[in-house]
Chain A
Amino acid sequence: AQKVTQAQTEISVVEKEDVTLDCVYETRDTTYYLFWYKQPPSGELVFLIRRNSFDEQNEISGRYSWNFQKSTSSFNFTITASQVVDSAVYFCALSAGTSGSARQLTFGSGTQLTVLP
């Protein structure tokens, strides 16, 4: 069975601060896929990133960066110089097992990020 833990239920920062959202996953499969999704107040789910277990380099996209560490089963997400528009619920998710690819996702419980002006 797979499990995703997002221990931070709510985080509040002031605009321009950096913030890191933690994600710890559990799986016995050697091939798996990790995702981050953003859910703004409007409610839709917006895809941010996919990381395959066999791709070990970290990724940066503008103000967003992701740190994938197999040794600690973590896939943390950092927002640099946060903005009010970053306020949202962020979900980490995992896909693994015989289903392969990236379809049946196990989600964490989400982290509510509030960026104050």
Chain B
Amino acid sequence: NAGVTQTPKFQVLKTGQSMTLQCAQDMNHEYMSWYRQDPGMGLRLIHYSVGAGITDQGEVPNGYNVSRSTTEDFPLRLLSAAPSQTSVYFCASSRSGGRNEKLFFGSGTQLSVL
């Protein structure tokens, strides 16, 4: 079981470039989400999805787009990268409902925007 897989692990972009961070899970989880981690600020929710075809905004959605065409994949798109988007990005997934529901996180993508 691979769990939650994120690619790439590292990426350097120039201001204005676009890119897509990939996230895939093989646990058949309905819920997937993206967080960014900045020093001293913990993790903040960017976007989330409760199932294929359904997405919604989190706390810090500006500058990011998402789509969910399959249960397994939840890519995060930066249309025009800015230095303020330099961060570590984590994808997470969970099964729907249940007393023991918890988020499973990927290993993260470290993004630098110059």
* A-to-B contact residues, CB < 8 Å: 4, 6, 9, 35, 37, 43-45, 47, 50, 52, 91, 93, 101-110
Contacts and interface: CB of A to CB of B under 8 A. Distances in A.
A91 B88 CA distance: 15
Residue among B48, B98, B102 with most chain A CB within 10 A? B102
B103 A91 contact: no
A35 B42 contact: no
B53 interface: no
A44 B103 contact: no
Given A103-B33, A110-B42, A47 B104 contact: yes
A105 B101 contact: no
Interface of B: 31, 33, 35, 40-45, 48, 58, 88, 90, 94, 96-105, 107-108
Given A43-B107, A109-B40, A109-B42, A104 B58 contact: yes
Nearest to A4: B42
Name A's interface SS.
loop
A44 to B, nearest CB: 5
A105 B107 contact: no
Contacts of A50: 100-102
B104 A105 contact: no
Contact of A109 (B41, B97, B100): B41
Contact of B101 (A91, A101, A108, A109): A101
Contacts of B100: 50
Given A47-B102, A47-B104, A101-B101, 4 more contacts: A44-B105, A45-B90, A103-B94, A104-B45
Contact of B43 (A9, A43, A101, A105): A105
Residue among A43, A45, A103 with most chain B CB within 10 A? A103
B4 to A, nearest CB: 10
